[in-house]
């Protein structure tokens, strides 16, 4: 899974990229931009690490791309294979910055609709003229369904597709099917006040289009990064926050992609593994190692909630809270999993 960071010029997208990836000393890339990885903060991982004191602690991660181009075909090419977008809005620049950012969103969506409609209509024309062969008999009805939505200016992420249609969506890499998160970059004063220029307009866009909004302050985030962990909590508390904006943006992107985390624990490593919501435990085991999926027998599973209450795996077993699950079990967010296998 990969997420792109975009926005109008000077809105602060490269600053956010650096903060999310920990590449604070890097310089902006050229053309397609920087590529990095962001960790998804998760207090459950920290809590498990405190119990097991492992040699290594690994959080869930998502690929991140800082998109330097912001309009035209170059922009579309840069985001084609991304799964979601974080759009940074320049609220710290006052009303002019907000207006530029809102114009950027409108232009971006227009390009998305035009590109998707051209793709759908072009494919339909070739299929109906017998210049191309359909993937299967359901491709034409699927494309007509997409065209009806796009003609009404409905983004394809808001269309309800059946499981077999989802495969078509993935193959076409439609732009309007991508999840979008709005990230207003606000001043230090506005962060403390809990309001910022353009908040009403941004809220309206969010309500109308189903976008998640997570405000942050680039200046404040850089100051947070310079503090040690003991001082960060008090600093955040002064702004009425419990987490930095970067943590909230990373978590919002993770949730928007329909991802969940399950955990493996031990003295060598405590690790969060990423799977799509609805993934079976056998397939999830394959994320750890292909041998675990191939030789899967059963899995010992306990929820993080029960583990947290009891304080240890032994206490959970003594209370009968560790379940033995077969291959048909669907992994839940926060499950602690130990795979039994034989290769």
Query: What pLDDT sits at residue 171?
Result: 86
pLDDT of residue 26: 47
Architecture of domain 2-255 in this structure: 3-Layer(aba) Sandwich (3.40)
Q: 146 falls in which pLDDT band (50, 70, 90)?
A: very high
Burial class (CB in 10 A: 0-12, 13-18, 19+), 160: exposed
Dihedral of CA atoms 20, 21, 26, 30 in degrees, nearest 10, equals -90
Q: What pLDDT is recorded for position 244?
A: 92
Give per-residue pLDDT as tens, 186-213: 999 999 998 999 999 999 999 999 999 9
Q: For all residues of the chain together, what is the average pLDDT?
A: 92
* pLDDT (0 to 100) of residue 335: 98
CA distances from 66 to 18, 85, 244, 297, 343 (A): 9, 10, 20, 42, 42
The label of the residue with tokens 């309206």 reads 204
Percentage of the chain beyond pLDDT 90 is 81
**Predicted TM-score (pTM) of this structure:** 0.89
pLDDT number for residue 34:
84
pLDDT tens-digit series, residues 2-35: 999 999 999 999 999 999 998 754 444 444 568 9
- pLDDT the model gives residue 32: 52
The CA distance from 292 to 217, in Å, is 43
**pLDDT tens by residue, 265-302:** 999 999 999 999 999 999 999 999 999 999 999 999 99
pLDDT at 255: 92
Nearest to 245 by CA among 86, 96, 97: 86
Average pLDDT for 96-112: 95
| Cβ count within 10 A of residue 97 | 21
Domain ranges for the chain, please list them.
2-255, 278-341
Q: Are 60 and 20 in contact (CB under 8 A)?
A: no
Q: Which two tokens stand for residue 224?
A: 């947070």
> Which residues, in sequence order, are CB contacts of 260 under 8 Å at separation 6+?
274, 275, 276, 277, 279, 331, 332, 333, 334
Task: At 4, give phi and psi (nearest 5°).
Answer: -105, 145
- Please write the tens of the pLDDT for every residue from 300-333: 999 999 999 999 999 999 999 999 999 999 999 9
The yes-or-no answer to whether 2-255 and 278-341 have a common fold is no
* Nearest CA among 314, 97, 76, 325 for reference residue 198: 97
Which is the CATH superfamily of the domain at 278-341?
Beta-grasp domain (3.10.20.30)
């Amino acid at each position: 899974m990969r997420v792109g960071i975009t926005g109008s010029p000077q809105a602060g997208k490269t600053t956010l990229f650096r903060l999310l990836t920990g590449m604070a000393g890097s310089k902006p890339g050229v053309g397609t931009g920087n590529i990095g990885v962001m960790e998804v903060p998760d207090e459950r991982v920290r809590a498990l690490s405190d119990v097991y004191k492992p040699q290594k602690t690994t959080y869930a991660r998502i690929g991140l791309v800082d998109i330097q181009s912001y309009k035209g075909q170059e922009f579309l090419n840069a985001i084609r294979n991304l799964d979601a977008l974080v759009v940074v809005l320049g609220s710290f620049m006052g009303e002019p910055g907000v207006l530029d950012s809102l114009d950027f969103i409108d232009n971006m969506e227009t390009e998305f609709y035009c590109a998707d409609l051209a793709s759908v209509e072009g494919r339909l024309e070739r299929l109906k003229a017998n210049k191309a062969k359909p993937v299967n008999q359901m491709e034409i009805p699927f494309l007509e369904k997409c065209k009806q939505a796009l003609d009404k200016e409905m983004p394809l992420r808001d269309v309800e597709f059946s499981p077999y249609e989802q495969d078509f969506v993935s193959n076409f890499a439609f732009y309007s099917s991508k999840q979008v998160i709005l990230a207003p970059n606000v001043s230090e004063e506005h962060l403390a006040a809990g309001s910022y220029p353009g908040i009403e307009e941004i809220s309206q866009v969010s309500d109308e289009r189903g976008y998640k909004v997570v405000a942050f302050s680039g200046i404040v985030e850089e100051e947070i990064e310079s503090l040690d962990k003991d001082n960060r909590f008090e600093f955040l508390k002064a702004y009425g926050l419990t987490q930095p904006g970067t943590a909230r943006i990373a978590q919002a992107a993770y949730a928007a992609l329909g991802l969940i985390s399950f955990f493996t624990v031990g003295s060598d490593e405590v690790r969060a593994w990423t799977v799509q919501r609805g993934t079976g435990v056998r397939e999830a085991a394959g994320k750890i190692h292909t041998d675990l999926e191939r030789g899967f027998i059963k899995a010992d599973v306990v929820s993080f909630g029960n583990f947290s209450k009891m304080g240890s795996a032994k206490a959970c077993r003594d209370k009968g809270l560790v379940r033995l699950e077969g291959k048909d079990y669907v992994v839940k967010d926060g499950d602690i999993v130990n795979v039994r296998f034989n290769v």
